[in-house]
Amino acid sequence: MELQSLCKYFSSSPEVLTGIFGNRKIRFTQPWGLNDPLEGAPSARFQRPGTDTLYQLDGVTYPSEQLFYRIQVIEAAVNSFGMLSLTKIPDSFDMWALYGDGHRGFLIEFAEDFNEKPCMRARDGGVYPVEPVDYVETYEIDPDDLYDGQTINHQALIRSVFLRKVKRWDREREFRIVRPLTDCADYTRVAGFQTSYRDGRVYLFDLDPGCIASVTFGAHMSSEAKRYVYSQVQGTGIELFQACLCLGLKDDAGHQGRLVLAHMDEFGAPERVLDSPPHHFSALDGDPREEKRTQTINTLAELPYYGRFRGVVERFSETMGARDSRNSQC
C-alpha cells in the first residue's frame, strides 16, 4: 500500500506522545540521532593527491587536510541541520517493527501541503521542499565540491549528504525535509576548534494540528496510549485508524501477515478500538474491513463450540454484556 501523501512512524513513549499531541512539537533530527550509523558520514575523499598527509611542528602533530575538512568543516556543517524522515508506505511490517517500537507505536499521515504551513516554513517564510532520498552504491564526497572559498555550499551539502543513503535502505523509499537548526529558538552554534563535533541536544519545532491528516494506532499499541491520542485529537479533524495484522493474508512480498489499516469507524463504537487489548489486532485471520457472514441464534447453546467450552463462552458473554452496558451509559 502506498499513500499519495507522506507518513512517519513513531514510538509511543510518554515523551513522544506528550511532545506531539500535548505540546504540539516535532523533532528534526541530526544525523547522529538516526538509526543508521552512516547517516551524515560519507567517506571524504579528495580527488587531488596528498590530502591524507599528517603534519608535525615543534612536536605537535596537525591533522591531514582530509581529516581537518572532515571534522572542522563538513561534520560541523552537517550537525547544524535537522531532518524529518518520511515515507509513503504506511503498512510496512519492518518499519512498524523498527521505527514504530515493535508495532506498539503509531503512524502519522501528514496533510499534502503540510510543509507549507507556517510552522514548517523558514524564518524568512520560505518553503522547505520534501525531496526523495537517492540510494547509492558508494556514499562518499569530495570536500572540494562542498567548500567554496570561506563558506560551505549548503545546497550541495544537502544534496550530496542528507539526500543520499546506501542501497541497503532502499526498501523504505524515504523522503526528507532538511532544515537548519537555526530555525529553532533553542539552537546555539558550537564555536571554536573541535577534535570532534556532535551536538547532543534535541531540537523540537512547532507542529500545527493542521499538518496532520490522520493517526494510525499500531497493532500492539496500549489502550492507555490510544486513549491519550484520542482525547488530544478531538475537534481537530484528524482521522483515526487501527493497524491490524491479518495472519491469514500475505503481503505484497508474499510474506505471511498483511498489515491492514482500518478506519476507526469500521469497528463501531470507539471503545471497541480504545479498550481492546493490544494483541486483539494482531490475531486476525481476514481483513476486518470486509463484511463477515453472520447468523442469528436464540441461545448460547446453538454455538457449535458451546458444549465443549461452556464455561469460556459464558464468561465471554458476561464480559461483553457488561462492556456494552458501560458503553451505553457513556
Given this model, what pLDDT does residue 96 score? 96
The string of pLDDT tens digits covering residues 72-106 is 777 778 888 999 999 999 999 999 999 999 999 99
Q: Which three cell numbers stand for residue 147?
A: 567548500
* pLDDT of 228 higher than 90: yes
120 DSSP 8-state letter: G
- pTM of the entire structure? 0.84
**How large is the average pLDDT for residues 106-121?**
97
* pLDDT of 189 higher than 70: yes
Could you list the beta-strand ranges (E) of 38-146: 43-44, 55-57, 60-62, 81-87, 106-110, 131-132, 134-136, 140-141
Rounded Cα–Cα distance for residues 61 and 276 (Å): 64
Rounded Cα–Cα distance for residues 4 and 14 (Å): 30
The string of pLDDT tens digits covering residues 120-171 is 999 999 999 999 999 999 998 888 888 776 777 888 889 988 999 999 999 9
**How large is the average pLDDT for residues 310-316?**
89
State CA 22 to chain mean position distance. Answer: 18
* pLDDT of 44 higher than 70: yes
Given this model, what pLDDT does residue 264 score? 93
Using 50, 70 and 90 to split pLDDT, how confident is the model at 251? confident
**How large is the average pLDDT for residues 224-239?**
96
* pLDDT of 212 higher than 90: yes
Angle at 9 between CA 8 and CA 13, to 5 degrees: 130
State the average pLDDT for the chain. Answer: 88
